[in-house]
Amino acid sequence: MSIKKSVNIDWNTLGFGYIKTDYRYLSYWKDGKWDEGVLTEDNRLHISEGSTSLHYGQQCFEGMKAYRRKDGKIQLFRPDKNAARMQDSCKRVLMAEVPIEKFVDAVKSVVKANAHYVPTYGTGATLYIRPLVIGVGDSIGVKPASEYIFTIFCMPVGPYFKGGMTPVNFIVTDYDRAAPFGTGAAKVGGNYAASLLPHAEAAKKGFADCIYLDAATHTKIEEVGAANFFGITRDNEFVTPNSPSILPSITRQSLMIVAKDLLGMGAEERDVYIDEIDEFVEAGACGTAAVITPIGGIEYKGKLHVFHSETEVGPVTKKLYDTLTGIQFGDIEGPDGWVDLVE
Ligand code: PLP
Ligand code: COI
């Protein structure tokens, strides 16, 4: 498909919101196999009222981005990792898995078909891609669906947290996001439904989002809203929590490698105790949507602990951001296999 169009969107003022783009991918699984899939202009799904995704949350999703390079070409960042994580999520809620190659090819076909929505290089905006698998078909019992839909849509986005690289504050919540052997490591919708109330309460108090502690002991940091936590120690070490109930962030995994191999820092995944956050001189939230969002301060038990500054990004966080986004936008050469050209 060759589409040469342009759209009238100001990439510089984009937030993180739904925009209907021209094409989405749609594939059905039935009788043990996926069909080839099609690109369609229709943004509505017509599914059975008995769909397990509607009743029992049998679904999962991914979040990834396409980046416009300086030379005008478009690239993806580690799409095979999203494909693999989606397979893990499907396994956790007993859904049909999408083969890695089918996933990556389908993502590329959606990006190509909507290429005119990939923001201009230099604006910082990107094309956000949302793949999902949902259980569909006629059923009512609490059991895996008989049919599945794999669909991918996309939209141009700006920063997820207002201000982008300006620090924002978070508050520790008493709510739990995920149980130790629950579904926290899977990207399933139920985890996000559970986060709506804690997020709303944090926002009402003026915070960007909340910090979740581990459900078993309420002593260790797990997640920063829909992003992973990292801190930088006085010894220039990148530290990020280790837990089976955290979503294994691809951004976080990549930052560990950037810190160690490209910036010569230490990098460690380990317990991060909320009582010991003063060991960090800088802190941030990382994820596809969040990219790197500097954490100004964290409120815990009525006290705000400020890291580097509430208004200025710390030097190490800035270096990590510049290197990561440099690779994602094609300005810096990253490790082998990290970028995948779309066109
Ligand atoms: N944690 C949660 C709960 C998320 O929803 C996300 C977003 O995908 C992340 C962390 C960051 O993961 P990634 O870097 O793979 O986007
Ligand atoms: C992402 O970073 O892709 C996310 O999924 C976060 C949020 C928009 C759910």
Angle at 196 (CA atoms; ends 129, 230), nearest 5 degrees: 65
pLDDT given for residue 3 in this prediction: 52
Question: Do 267 and 253 form a contact (C-beta atoms < 8 A)?
Answer: no
pLDDT at residue 164 is higher than 80: no
> From CA 227, how far away is CA 209, in angstroms rounded?
10
pLDDT given for residue 343 in this prediction: 78
Q: How confident is the model at residue 299 (pLDDT cuts 50, 70, 90)?
A: very high
> From CA 106, how far away is CA 75, in angstroms rounded?
14
Phi, psi at residue 107, to the nearest 5°? -60, -45
Pairing assessment for the beta strands 339-341 and 74-77 based on DSSP bridges: antiparallel
Residue type, 330: G
Q: How confident is the model at residue 149 (pLDDT cuts 50, 70, 90)?
A: very high
Nearest atom, ligand 2, residue 251 CA: 2
| pLDDT tens, residue by residue, 207-220 | 999 999 999 999 99
Residue 301 CA, ligand 2 centroid: distance in Å? 27
For the chain, which residues make up each domain, given as ranges? 11-159, 168-328
pLDDT at residue 2 is higher than 60: no
Look at domain 168-328 and name its CATH class.
alpha beta
| pLDDT tens, residue by residue, 81-117 | 999 999 999 999 999 999 999 999 999 999 999 999 9
Q: Which CATH architecture has domain 11-159?
A: 2-Layer Sandwich (3.30)
For the whole model, what pTM was predicted? 0.96
Q: Whose CA is nearest to atom 11 of ligand 1?
A: 287
Choice from 157, 160, 246, 247 to test ligand 2 binding pocket (greatest atom count within 8 A of CB)? 160
**241, exposed or middle or buried, with CB in 10 Å at 0-12, 13-18, 19+?**
buried
> From CA 279, how far away is CA 18, in angstroms rounded?
39
- Tokens of residue 162, six digits: 């207002």
| Residue tagged active-site, from 81, 112, 187, 220 | 187
Mean pLDDT across 22-42: 98
Residue 139 CA, ligand 1 centroid: distance in Å? 31
Q: Whose CA is nearest to atom 2 of ligand 1?
A: 226
pLDDT at residue 75 is higher than 60: yes
Ligand nearest to the backbone CA of 289: 2
